[in-house]
Chain A
């Protein structure tokens, strides 16, 4: 497993100090620190947010996994938990929040709505999944996912963090500095994703002839 390779330094400790010294990799240490203090953005969109709050409270207690420090400002957050229906009207704000988060940052799509539009997919104001705009790390199914499911999803995220290596992660790579920047969508006659302008133009020009 990749994870094990990252954690085992492959270095022989002389026998006489084996009980005194432990050796691990920098990756392991670095990941351990990050995975145990993932600070989520305090950010609720809809019904799923209520289950997110419930997961913070006494019975489920997300603090056991180092995730209880909800940060209302994106500048201090590591993880965006998209908890609820993403509407077109809200999307520019979500993208802005995401862009304001410092690297390393993760996105967890909680619930059917954030993953795909869910029960409201057909709605005219609904974005069919946040992954159309942001890179999602973990999807949690459910409507709403129970707090247990949410915690299971977050443990998955921790497993993902465990597999990352300091040598290859994008946020230390000078050339990839802005690789995660998402251009702001615009609210026009409908939602305009500026990355797809050309496509829209083409489709709009042929729209009449097609239908």
Chain B
């Protein structure tokens, strides 16, 4: 069964009696580390205790206690439960905490995010700039005392917007009659925009130096945010020398929709449809991750039949995600449209199933705490069966046959190095990219959740870590997912689909939970702190796309510009999840 993430297998406090204490707050686990000793303790956690994968770094603002906390979740790539440790500092603007990027490179973007949204300054960070908002934005939005321009009340449900039969608009409550807030006596005409000086300065600092010999000029090219192959609104500033990428800095936040802040105002149930819109290809997986986390906090079981339904939906979602991945990759490589038309044809059939069970094609909003919202009718089960037994296996083979004999494609994929195992772990890369580098780390096996331990499937793994392996591993995963769905269909019992009664408000005891699932793109995790109220006190999403992006500079520096889109495509990012 699911191993709770809080199970401690090491006693950090015994190893560092001076600087580490166990966290004894009810509902919390892990260790509190003194700020001064953080780096020493963190090094030991990685080297002595073997927690080589730092998955999440995030902050929590305890306004009432005048404290800010940075929470770290570390895991072992050999599997097993994780280790939670945290640093608490007195609240100030900004607070300072040492950066752990020297120990786990994967912390880089997450620490930038914590700086941007919470105002936690990480000393020793190589490139501490805002990441989701723009430089010059006023304030750190996730602090509890920061209010957005359309602020109505602390938490939802809000009071009626139709008091006395009169409708009011959010705009009317704001002095600027819009979603805006400017400091007092602000004069827009005298304002000097930042103009991204910091971005270009940092790009220059992180650029490789040419190797003597011929003197060449470097040029800076901006790709995006409007570019057909950046998979949405990502922008990348690239320094080129000839065709070689010497340095690059991604600029994100063009789709930052304030998921965390809105989530903290919402009730637990209201968040579910918002999670649909994270990774909008896989709303089922997002629901899965979120509900698993809240169920962990609530300590409720999931109805048996619902567990099977959940697995079926999550795996179908993975299949269509990988199909689209393959189609889109071909688009990026220049086989405009034809392969992706094939992929979308199959995707439509899977979306039909989603629509039949949930009522929506993309934004399914299908999971509930303790189960799912509706049962699967028998004819839909039959449809799923036909799909996974007959149609999709045949179509996957067909696609593979059409594509993999193509010399041009193979020429573009083979031997172009993406990332090796060691670096992938250092950069906290998870999902297919990590597995294509030779690490068989799949949460369905490594840290099993739901009922994945009942199914017989292999963790897809390949060893070269080049573009070709990254591409082929998607086919492997489709086949494994098909196996899982087939078994789930056979094993699915009759019975209720939810262990709880339907309710608008759920009671969530105080405490914290970190729930992780293997989404098609990597580890998708939610970190929730509850204080027993109907709304989460802290709600944080740890998306696979965002953390995997940390490695992009490392992956692309030194390679050719024409491979860049393929390398980026391999990370399989989706902006809704990356920017949230």
Q: List residues of A whose CB falls within 8 A of some B CB.
A: 42-47, 49-51, 53-54, 57-59, 72, 84-85, 87, 89-90, 93, 97, 117, 119-128, 132, 143-144, 146, 186-192, 194, 197, 199-201, 203-208, 210-211
- How far is A205 from B274 in the complex, measured between Cα atoms in Å? 37
Contacts of A49 in B (CB 8 A): 232
Task: Pick the contact of B257: A42, A126, A197, A204 (CB < 8 A).
Answer: A126
Task: Pick the contact of A200: B137, B188, B363 (CB < 8 A).
Answer: B188
Assess whether B186 is in contact with A47, with CB atoms less than 8 Å apart: no
Assess whether A120 is in contact with B362, with CB atoms less than 8 Å apart: no
Task: Pick the contact of A121: B179, B182, B233 (CB < 8 A).
Answer: B179
Assess whether B134 is in contact with A187, with CB atoms less than 8 Å apart: yes
Contacts of A210 in B (CB 8 A): 175
Assess whether A203 is in contact with B175, with CB atoms less than 8 Å apart: yes
How big is chain B's contact interface, by range? 35 or more
List 21 A-B pairs, Cβ < 8 Å: A47-B280, A47-B362, A51-B362, A53-B344, A54-B344, A58-B344, A72-B227, A87-B255, A89-B253, A119-B277, A122-B152, A123-B262, A125-B256, A186-B188, A186-B193, A187-B134, A189-B138, A200-B180, A200-B186, A203-B175, A204-B182
Contacts of B233 in A (CB 8 A): 44-45, 90
Question: What 7 A-B pairs are tightest by C-beta distance, nearest first?
Answer: A123-B258, A47-B280, A189-B138, A57-B344, A124-B148, A204-B186, A90-B254
B178 proximal to A (CB < 8 A):
yes
Assess whether A58 is in contact with B362, with CB atoms less than 8 Å apart: no
Task: Pick the contact of B175: A45, A46, A206 (CB < 8 A).
Answer: A206
Assess whether A58 is in contact with B345, with CB atoms less than 8 Å apart: yes
Contacts of B150 in A (CB 8 A): 121-122, 128
Assess whether B362 is in contact with A89, with CB atoms less than 8 Å apart: no
B170 proximal to A (CB < 8 A):
yes
Assess whether A50 is in contact with B281, with CB atoms less than 8 Å apart: yes
Interface residues of B in 149-171 (CB under 8 A from A): 149-152, 170-171
Known: A87-B257, A125-B133. A44 touches B232 (CB 8 A): yes
Contacts of B152 in A (CB 8 A): 122
- How far is A135 from B165 in the complex, measured between Cα atoms in Å? 31
Known: A49-B232, A87-B256. A190 touches B182 (CB 8 A): yes
- How far is A57 from B228 in the complex, measured between Cα atoms in Å? 17
B145 proximal to A (CB < 8 A):
no
- How far is A132 from B185 in the complex, measured between Cα atoms in Å? 24
Assess whether A200 is in contact with B176, with CB atoms less than 8 Å apart: yes
Known: A204-B183, A204-B184. A89 touches B256 (CB 8 A): yes
Assess whether B179 is in contact with A128, with CB atoms less than 8 Å apart: yes
